């Protein structure tokens, strides 16, 4: 066997190692999902979705958990999306290339790397205590909004960057002001990309557990929230609570709740990918 | 009139951008404020050198080392899983894979990062640990090994996508020159491309490291809640993040020492990730200049 042959053999072996590496993570994920479906699928029925939590595993449901998640997501959306898009527009369209912009950019990259549990400590001190919101839906939403703000800002900037300069110049040429150009031309053209980023950010907020635990969301809330100042729990915290219990029945409940959570997460991610592809096809100006 | 309106709008946009600065100031202020009070009660030397962390017991010790060792242990296990796999994926995608396959695999890998971490925690505790216990009977029900392995799977896409970007950014002529000399793709990958993209690959590893340090739910569920200064991956440990969760689950008074311990622990966590992130920004900036 000469050297050249050996090298070519090694080369083609590595090709298979590469394919294997690509799929090993996905195979493990498939095993995970298979396991969870096997454990939890039969547990899902109408009463599981509409029952309050209970000390008895077979009677417990996820009504408070999913309604809490819904409240949190709605308020996080209302708080984070306008601020995030507006900050992204400022940095991309009104960028003055000065010291302030530079600081803002470094700061946002840093915030994106701060562990989520640190946002929990921030929320606990600023929203729960200083603002006297208590461990309410609103305090949790503000905390998650700050957490996903960097994601929305970065996505908005990327989307705006993809809009060609010719659109802006044409709008200026017709006498439009900077804001008119941004609002009526640039933002609509970038909307697909921004939408993708927003959906991904919201899906991230939906799966967050740690910061809400620190903010004081409880695992056991015997009622569904009726307003933004109510106490709450969310789906991931309910899952965490059930996983931490030693009894097998509760881990079945956890698996069932995970199925629901994954279903929502994957649907949101799927929609985001769909919009991204559609928008990318359109944006070949 | 238009001019005033434009000015007002720009001011509003600017204010929203400044909220991000306020967030950073808020984080530092909260952590610093409570940590300063904490260090008035506990000496900083004890905090950094004591080998026991028992703030919730009657016999209180405030040594952060066991929490740091738990954090580093799970993180190192995670990186040893995700670095070889992630780098292999990156090389395969940038040097071997046909374009069509690449287009399918990349979004599929992103799914790994989209799964909520609490789900991975369930996986580590309910599937990976029982499986590993069959191979290693002396392994405890809570351990850093399965938490670390599962965390490694989660961060594969971080390493693979950033490393692949780095490999793609290497100028084409380097690859062509290597092929021209008669090198195979494998030789080109490891002897030309990886060294040329090394700074980008290092950035991806540092960011993955920082991500793993801050990861909470997997370790809180599967690694246990026993602060222990050990390198043994088969026994329960506690990470900084898991400690914060443990305290937050209980009923902790605002002005108590227990409450301040989570801020002091959070401070250490924040400093660690802050340093790592900024090293990576610095490397990335330098690396960009090289090729421009």
Contact of B164 with chain A, judged by CB distance below 8 Å, is answered with no
What percent of chain A clears pLDDT 70, i.e. is strictly above it? 98
Res. B163 pLDDT band, cuts 50 70 90: very high
Confidence (pLDDT) at B291: 58
Helices (H), B136-189: 144-168, 172-180, 185-188
Q: Estimate to the nearest angstrom the gap between the alpha carbon of A17 and the chain centroid.
A: 32
Rounded to whole angstroms, the Cα distance separating B208 from A31 reads 24
Asked if A77 and A268 touch (Cβ cutoff 8 Å), the reply is: no
Q: Collapsing DSSP states into helix, strand and coil, what is residue B62?
A: strand
Question: Rounded to the nearest 5°, which phi and psi values hold at B138?
Answer: -80, 0
Query: Hey, what's the torsion of the CAs at B256, B262, B264, B268, to 10 degrees?
Result: 180
DSSP string over B225-285:
S-------TTS----HHHHHHHHHHS---TTSHHHHHHHHHHHHHHHHHHHHHHHHHHHHH
Res. B279 pLDDT band, cuts 50 70 90: very high
Task: Provide the ipTM.
Answer: 0.91
Residue B292 has pLDDT above 70, yes or no: no
Closest CA to B113 of B148, B72, B83, B151: B151
Burial A241-269 (b: 16+ CB within 10 A, else e): bbbbeeeeebbbbbbbbbbbbbebbeebb
Rounded to whole angstroms, the Cα distance separating B274 from B224 reads 26
Q: Which tens digit of pLDDT belongs to each residue from A252-283?
A: 999 999 999 999 999 999 898 888 888 877 66
Q: Collapsing DSSP states into helix, strand and coil, what is residue B240?
A: helix
Residue A1 has pLDDT above 70, yes or no: no
What percent of chain A clears pLDDT 90, i.e. is strictly above it? 49
Query: Hey, what's the torsion of the CAs at A10, A13, A18, A19, to 10 degrees?
Result: 160
Asked if B132 and A50 touch (Cβ cutoff 8 Å), the reply is: no
Residue A2 has pLDDT above 80, yes or no: no
Confidence (pLDDT) at B62: 87
> Does the distance separating the beta carbons of A178 and B186 come in below 8 Å?
no
- The domains of chain A are located at 3-43, 46-282
- Residue A276: C-alpha distances to residues A155, A181, B109 (Å): 11, 23, 16
Of B31, B115, B248, the CB nearest to A265: B115
Q: What is the mean pLDDT of chain B?
A: 89
pTM (whole model) above 0.90:
yes
Rounded to whole angstroms, the Cα distance separating A187 from B190 reads 44
Would you state the CATH architecture of domain A46-282?
Orthogonal Bundle (1.10)
Q: Which tens digit of pLDDT belongs to each residue from A64-114?
A: 889 999 999 999 999 999 999 999 999 998 877 788 888 898 999 999 999
Helices (H) and strands (E) in chain B, counts: 14, 0
Residues A9-36, mean pLDDT to the nearest whole number:
89
Residues of B in contact with A207 (CB under 8 A): 115-119
Contact of B250 with chain A, judged by CB distance below 8 Å, is answered with no
What percent of chain B clears pLDDT 70, i.e. is strictly above it? 97
Confidence (pLDDT) at A284: 56
Cα distance between the two ends of chain B: 44
Res. B289 pLDDT band, cuts 50 70 90: low
Q: Which residue is closest to A237 within chain B, CA to CA?
A: B118
Of A32, A89, A106, the CB nearest to B13: A89
Rounded to whole angstroms, the Cα distance separating A158 from A231 reads 37
In degrees, to the nearest 5, what angle opens at C-alpha B225 toward C-alphas B221 and B231?
100
Closest CA to B108 of B146, B156, B162: B156
Residues B116-125, mean pLDDT to the nearest whole number:
93
Contact of A134 with chain B, judged by CB distance below 8 Å, is answered with no
Half-sphere exposure (Cβ direction) of A187: Cα atoms closer than 13 Å: 14
Residue B252 has pLDDT above 80, yes or no: no
Q: Which tens digit of pLDDT belongs to each residue from B225-246?
A: 888 888 888 889 999 999 999 9
Asked if B217 and A210 touch (Cβ cutoff 8 Å), the reply is: yes
State the best of B13, B109, B255, B267 to mutate against chain A, taking most chain A CBs within 10 Å.
B13
Contact of A104 with chain B, judged by CB distance below 8 Å, is answered with yes
Q: What is the mean pLDDT of chain A?
A: 89
Residue A220 has pLDDT above 80, yes or no: no
Partnered with residue A231 across adjacent β-strands are: A136
Which 141-160 residues of chain A touch chain B by CB within 8 A?
146, 149-150, 153
Q: Residue A110: enclosing H or E segment and its boundaries? A: helix A99-112
Residues A124-136, mean pLDDT to the nearest whole number:
88
Q: Which tens digit of pLDDT belongs to each residue from B253-272?
A: 777 888 889 999 999 999 99
Q: How far is A236 from chain B (nearest CA, A)?
A: 6
Contact of A199 with chain B, judged by CB distance below 8 Å, is answered with no
């Amino acid at each position: 066997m000469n050297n050249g042959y050996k090298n070519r053999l090694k080369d083609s072996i590595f090709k298979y190692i590469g394919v294997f590496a690509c799929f090993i993570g996905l195979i493990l994920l498939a095993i995970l999902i298979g396991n969870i479906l096997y454990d939890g699928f039969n547990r899902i029925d109408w009463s599981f979705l509409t029952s309050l939590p209970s000390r008895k595993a077979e009677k417990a449901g996820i009504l408070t958990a999913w309604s809490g998640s819904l409240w949190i997501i709605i308020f996080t959306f209302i708080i984070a999306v306008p601020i995030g898009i507006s900050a992204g527009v400022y940095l991309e369209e009104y960028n003055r290339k000065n010291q302030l912009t530079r600081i803002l950019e470094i700061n946002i990259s840093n915030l994106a790397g701060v562990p989520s549990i640190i946002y929990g400590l921030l929320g606990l001190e600023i929203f729960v205590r200083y603002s006297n919101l208590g461990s309410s839906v609103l305090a949790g939403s503000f905390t998650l909004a700050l957490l996903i703000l960097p994601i929305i800002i970065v996505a908005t900037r990327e989307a705006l960057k993809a809009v060609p300069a010719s659109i802006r110049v044409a709008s200026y040429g017709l006498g439009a002001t900077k804001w008119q150009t941004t609002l009526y031309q640039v933002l609509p053209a970038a909307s697909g990309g921004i939408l993708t980023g927003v959906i991904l950010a919201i899906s991230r907020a939906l799966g967050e557990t740690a910061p809400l635990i620190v903010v004081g969301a409880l695992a056991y809330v015997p009622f569904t929230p009726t307003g933004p100042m109510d106490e709450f729990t969310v789906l991931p915290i309910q899952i965490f609570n059930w996983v931490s219990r030693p009894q097998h029945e509760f881990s079945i409940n956890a698996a069932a709740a995970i199925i629901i959570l994954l279903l929502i997460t994957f649907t949101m991610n799927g929609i985001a990918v769909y919009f991204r592809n559609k928008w990318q096809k359109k944006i070949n100006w | 009139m238009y001019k005033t309106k434009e000015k007002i709008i720009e001011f509003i946009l600017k204010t929203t951008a400044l909220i991000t600065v306020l967030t950073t100031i808020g984080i530092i202020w909260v952590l610093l404020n409570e940590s300063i009070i904490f260090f008035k009660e506990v000496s900083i030397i004890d905090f950094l050198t004591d080998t026991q962390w028992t703030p919730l017991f009657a016999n209180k010790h405030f040594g952060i080392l066991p929490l740091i060792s738990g954090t580093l242990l799970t993180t190192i296990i995670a990186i040893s899983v995700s670095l070889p796999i992630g780098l292999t994926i990156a090389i395969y995608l940038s040097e071997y894979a046909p374009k069509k396959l690449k287009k399918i695999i990349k979004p599929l890998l992103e799914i790994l990062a989209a799964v909520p971490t609490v789900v991975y925690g369930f996986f580590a505790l309910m599937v990976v640990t029982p499986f590993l216990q069959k191979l290693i009977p002396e392994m405890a029900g809570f351990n850093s090994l399965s938490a670390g392995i599962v965390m490694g799977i989660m961060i594969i896409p971080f390493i693979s996508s950033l490393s692949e970007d780095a490999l793609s950014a290497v100028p084409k002529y380097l690859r062509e020159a290597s092929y021209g000399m008669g090198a195979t793709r494998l030789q080109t990958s490891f002897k030309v491309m990886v060294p040329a993209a090394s700074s980008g690959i290092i950035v991806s590893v540092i960011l993955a490291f920082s991500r793993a340090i801050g990861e909470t739910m997997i370790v809180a569920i599967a690694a246990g809640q026993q602060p222990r200064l050990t390198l043994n991956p088969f026994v329960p440990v506690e990470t900084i993040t898991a400690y914060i969760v443990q305290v937050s689950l209980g009923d902790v008074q605002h002005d108590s020492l227990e409450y301040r311990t989570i801020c002091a622990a959070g401070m250490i966590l924040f400093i660690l990730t802050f340093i790592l992130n900024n090293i990576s920004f610095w490397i990335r900036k330098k690396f960009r200049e090289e090729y421009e």
